[in-house]
Structure formats: C-alpha cells, structure tokens
Amino acid sequence: MSLTNRDKQIIKALDKFRVMDCDSVSELFFAGLKNPKYAANNVLLRLLRDQKIQRSTAFIPYCYFGPNIQMKAQSQKIGHFLAILNVYKEMLKLGDLDSFFTEPKYGRKSDGCCETDIYAYFRKTPFFIEVQKTVYSVKQMQEKLERYVLLYESGIIDKPFPHVLILSDQRYAIDENYPFKVFQSETFTEFVASLKSAPVSKPSERGVRIVVK
C-alpha cells in the first residue's frame, strides 16, 4: 500500500523528534477529526505492520520511532526526547515558531563542542534550549555553558548568537558574564509569561531582542 501525504509527514516527524508517543501524533496530525486518538492509532498500527515505523510498548501511551532511528525499546533517552517534543508542542501553541531542530550537531563533543537539545527560531529570536530533567551540579552546568562559549567563539553560528534557555525544575546559580543571554524557567510557557511581566529593554549591542506578542 502506498503512503499517503500524512503517512509521510508522520514518518518525517518521527525522524525529526526521534520518538513520539501516540497521543502526540494524534494531537499534531489528527486534531481535526471526530476521534483523533482512534484515527492516529489505526494509522500507526498500519505503518507498523508495513514496517515503515518502529514501536516501544514499554511506555503508556506507546511510543513510536522512525525507520532509521536506532534506539532500544526501554532506552532512558525516550523520556528525554518526549520532553523535547513537549517543548515543541508548547511553542506551537504560543505561535510564530519558524524553525525547530532536535539535537543539531555543530561539531564533536570530544572537541569541546556543545550538544544543545533544541535550536529554535521563535518570534524572530534564535534560541538554544536545554531540556534539563536530571539535576546537574553547579560545576556540570558551568561546563555545559562553557561549551556554548566555545561555540560562540568558533564563529560557526551567525550573529546574533542564540539565547540559551535552560528548562528545569532546578534553579542554577549562574553568575558568569557570558557573551550571550542565559535564561532559566521550568517550562517554555512560563518563560514567555515572565517576559510579558518584565520591563521592556532596548536591544543589546549584539542586536538580540525578544519580541513578545
């Protein structure tokens, strides 16, 4: 059976996000139907039967992978990728999301390059986002941010350099004067809400600003 356009979009999304749960597939691709979860489940089962996608039954709701994703059915990374997916869904609801990339590569970690969880261009502003579900020590967080400094200094990223946003339940003591802005929040939605209540400031010398609508 040939793939429909929606089938292709689902498979592309599974490759993009690495992992998607059935409910998220339903929300993103079947929202306009009378019973979106039922429709999503039927399509996913068909694609699984045709060996176009993979599935893990170790989680409820079940999780699905793209055909080229190498990941164990009970991998600890699944929860991390689902958290990244949830950030994407938050940003979609807030509007004006132009681009979103999961774990883009700018170099090798062994060479000191950072491995950001998300690059996003949201409301005319670039962001590197860390989805931090495990608690880091102050030293570990400083080392992570130093990798962003190395990326900044490398010149690989066009200016303005993205803001770095740490999404975590844990608040970290970040005192360094970095050449880019560092924000912290529990969720992306809370981060945007905090901007609305913050005093409006002029654009920095680097020309970076956040547009709040």
Answer yes or no: is pLDDT of 207 > 70. no
Answer yes or no: is pLDDT of 178 > 60. yes
Which pLDDT belongs to residue 196? 81
Span 78-197 CATH architecture? 3-Layer(aba) Sandwich (3.40)
SS3 116: coil
Answer yes or no: is pLDDT of 203 > 60. no
Q: Return the closest-CA partner of residue 188 out of 118, 139, 107, 136.
A: 118
For 77, list phi and psi in degrees, rounded to 5: -70, -15
Q: How far apart (Å, rounded) are the C-alpha atoms in residues 178 and 152?
A: 10
**Rounded (10°) CA dihedral 12, 73, 84, 156:** -70
Percent of the chain residues topping a pLDDT of 70: 90
Q: How confident is the model at residue 206 (pLDDT cuts 50, 70, 90)?
A: very low
Give the mean pLDDT of 24-41: 96
Give the global pTM: 0.88
Q: State which CATH number among 1.20.120, 1.10.10, 1.10.357, 1.10.20 fits the domain covering 5-75.
A: 1.10.10
The CATH 3.40.91.50 domain(s) of the chain lie at: 78-197
Relative to beta strand 118-122, strand 125-131 is: antiparallel
Give the mean pLDDT of 65-76: 90
Q: Return the closest-CA partner of residue 168 out of 61, 80, 77.
A: 80
The CATH 1.10.10 domain(s) of the chain lie at: 5-75
> Chain-wide mean pLDDT for the chain?
89
Token code pair at residue 209:
């600003």
Q: Give 96-144 pLDDT, tens digit per residue.
A: 999 999 999 987 766 667 889 999 999 999 999 999 988 888 888 999 9
